[in-house]
């Protein structure tokens, strides 16, 4: 069967902990979208591993696949693999030959576009991670991308570079009006020979290590053989390029449909499995865009946001940026549950909310005299939404390890009421509750692989 793990909010819901936990029961862990804009920390045997591209299951020895829907920065990939090897692990990572490659010029262009947008004061910069994600997906859709398979064929690689690189130079010089010599990394980033040398060598290494795969074919065979496949979504529903808060989105589809498209395992196979939405018990957002329940209205709210940010460690794994904080927003969760067809949810960071003076949940929005139960389709309308809140009882801090050991009933009563309220509002059962950062600090009600 398959299990697809999806971020229900804006990324950083703590998907890694569940992927890590349930990944132990999987035979293959597949990432189906995004690239090294993701960030997850895996704690295994007391050691901490920070990964942004390698699927987290690889730390445990499970085969990790980067599907065709991913954009792969081979420099990051090899740095992470080499680091894991130095630390005594032997990660088995395969990369789809149909996946697109993040080239150095994509990262440079990501930075330039953000700077240009920031400079014009129109407030339209996205706050990207600067990893070149958007420019790489643009080239994919524009049919001028370089795919992993091209790295294996030096002649094809040269031909593609000779087509793409002059366009990128022209973009920098003629559209952005910059002198290429003033742009960081310019020597290699816009030089066909230098790029060819580096990326053909990367292709050789991928081939030598047998790391490339026909993802669809591979997964189809594993699935037919009865193997358990876990799809590890990165980012979250509300930064999905189709279903998120456009244009403050990433350029891929973190929602569950992306698992089929981004891996080549058929929709009926993916849809026949479980789809678990990962929910943070409050909201965090890195980057720009609306956040109706943001705690930034006055000094008291800002102090509360600071408290939650510190307790929850809400600083970007990839960028280190402090995350914006808000109350849990049910219209966002209803949208997420519908788009991906959640069969269950896991609610994380329930420990972080312990000990607060007040606790609110947004149950709907008021907009232009109407009450909405879901997120409007435009940024402008979402920005103007006034949250409707329900105030719930707070709970005292508890011993996470003891609760994780004893099970759901050991949670404080008010925490259980909170979880049951959320589950009823989105009509989806709670499969797991995160009560601390360690893998063990999860209360499991249902293991989706045993459903
Ligand atoms: P990009 O994916 O780097 O293009 O960034 C686009 C938007 O998605 C920005 O608002 C980023 O902050 C956000 N984003 C990208 N990856 C993540 C993630 O893993 N967690 C949270 N936000 C992310």
167 and 312 housed in the same domain: no
| Choice between 291 and 119, residue whose per-residue pLDDT is larger | 291
What residues contact residue 28 under an 8 Å CB cut-off, 6+ apart? 57, 62, 63, 64, 65, 219, 222, 227, 228, 229, 230
- Structural contact between residues 25 and 222, judged by C-beta atoms closer than 8 angstroms: no
The model's pTM is 0.96
Domain containing residue 134: CATH number: 1.10.300.10
Concatenated DSSP letters for 211-280? -EE-HHHHHHHHHHTT--EEEE--S-GGG-TTTSSTTSS-SS--STHHHHHTT---HHHHHTSEEEEEEE
Q: Which of 156, 185, 206 is the last residue of a domain?
A: 206
* pLDDT band, residue 451 (cuts 50/70/90): confident
Q: At what angle do helices 104-119 and 133-141 cross, to 10 degrees?
A: 110
Given a cut of 90, is residue 218 above it in pLDDT?
Answer: yes
Domain termination residue (choose one: 206, 225, 258): 206
pLDDT tens per residue across span 114-153? 988 888 777 788 889 999 999 999 999 999 999 999 999 9
pLDDT value at 323 more than 90: yes
Q: Is 22:449 a contact under the CB 8 Å cutoff? A: yes
Query: How many helices (H) and strands (E) in the chain?
Result: 16, 20
Using the mean position of ligand 1's atoms as its centre, give its distance from the Cα of residue 287 in Å.
7
Residues 284, 243 share a domain: no
Q: Ligand 1 centre from 376 Cα, in Å? A: 21
Token couple for 316: 């970007």
Identify which of 409, 404, 400 has the alpha carbon closest to the alpha carbon of residue 443: 404
Percent of the chain beyond pLDDT 90?
Answer: 84
Residues with CB under 6 A from ligand 1: 11-12, 37-39, 126-129, 131, 133-134, 234-235, 239, 248, 250-251, 286-287
Q: Using one digit for the tens of pLDDT, what is the confidence trace for 147-174?
A: 999 999 999 999 999 999 999 999 999 9
Q: Which of 36, 40, 191, 223 is catalytic?
A: 40
Residues 217, 325 within the same domain? no
Question: 10 is in which domain, residue-wise?
Answer: 2-96+211-274
Query: Is there a single domain that holds both residue 81 and residue 215?
Result: yes
DSSP string, 102-157: PPHHHHHHHHHHHHHHHHTTSS------SSSHHHHHHHHHTT---BHHHHT-HHHH
């Amino acid at each position: 069967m398959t299990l697809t793990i999806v971020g229900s909010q804006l990324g950083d819901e703590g998907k890694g902990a569940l992927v890590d936990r349930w990944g132990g029961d999987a035979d293959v862990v597949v990432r189906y979208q995004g690239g090294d804009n993701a960030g997850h920390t895996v704690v295994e045997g007391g050691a901490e591993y920070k990964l942004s591209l390698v699927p987290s299951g690889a730390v445990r020895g499970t085969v990790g696949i980067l599907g065709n829907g991913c954009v792969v920065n081979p420099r990051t990939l090899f740095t992470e693999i080499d680091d894991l090897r130095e630390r005594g692990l032997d990660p088995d990572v395969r990369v789809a030959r149909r996946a697109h490659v993040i080239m150095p010029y994509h990262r440079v262009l990501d930075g330039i576009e953000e700077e240009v947008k920031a400079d014009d004061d129109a407030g339209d910069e996205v706050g990207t991670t600067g990893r070149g994600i958007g420019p790489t997906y643009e080239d994919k859709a524009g049919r001028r991308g370089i795919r992993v398979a091209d790295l294996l064929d030096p002649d094809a690689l040269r031909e593609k570079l000779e087509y793409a690189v002059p366009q990128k130079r022209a973009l920098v010089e003629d559209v952005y009006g910059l002198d290429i010599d003033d742009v960081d990394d310019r020597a290699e980033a816009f030089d066909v020979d230098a790029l060819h040398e580096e990326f053909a060598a990367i292709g050789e290494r991928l081939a030598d290590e047998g790391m490339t795969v026909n993802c669809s074919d591979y997964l189809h065979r594993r699935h037919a053989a009865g193997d358990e496949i876990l799809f590890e979504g990165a980012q979250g529903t509300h930064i999905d390029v189709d279903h998120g808060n456009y244009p403050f989105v990433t350029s891929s589809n973190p929602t569950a449909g992306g698992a089929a498209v981004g891996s080549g395992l058929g929709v009926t196979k993916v849809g026949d499995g479980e789809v678990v939405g990962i929910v943070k018990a409050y909201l965090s957002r890195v980057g720009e865009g609306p956040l109706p329940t943001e705690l930034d209205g006055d000094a008291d709210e800002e102090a509360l946001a600071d408290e939650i940010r510190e307790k929850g460690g809400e600083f970007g794994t990839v960028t280190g940026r402090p995350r914006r904080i808000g109350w849990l927003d049910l219209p966002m969760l209803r949208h997420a549950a519908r788009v991906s067809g959640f069969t269950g949810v896991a609610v994380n960071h329930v420990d972080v909310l312990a000990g607060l003076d007040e606790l609110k949940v947004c149950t709907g929005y008021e907009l232009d005299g109407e009450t909405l139960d879901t997120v409007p389709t435009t940024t402008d309308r979402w920005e103007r939404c006034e949250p409707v809140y329900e105030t719930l009882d707070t709970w005292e801090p508890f011993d996470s390890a003891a609760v994780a050991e004893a099970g759901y009933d050991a949670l404080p009563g008010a925490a259980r009421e909170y979880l049951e309220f959320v589950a009823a509002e989105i009509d989806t059962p709670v499969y797991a509750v995160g009560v601390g950062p360690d893998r063990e600090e999860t209360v499991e009600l249902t293991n989706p692989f045993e459903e």
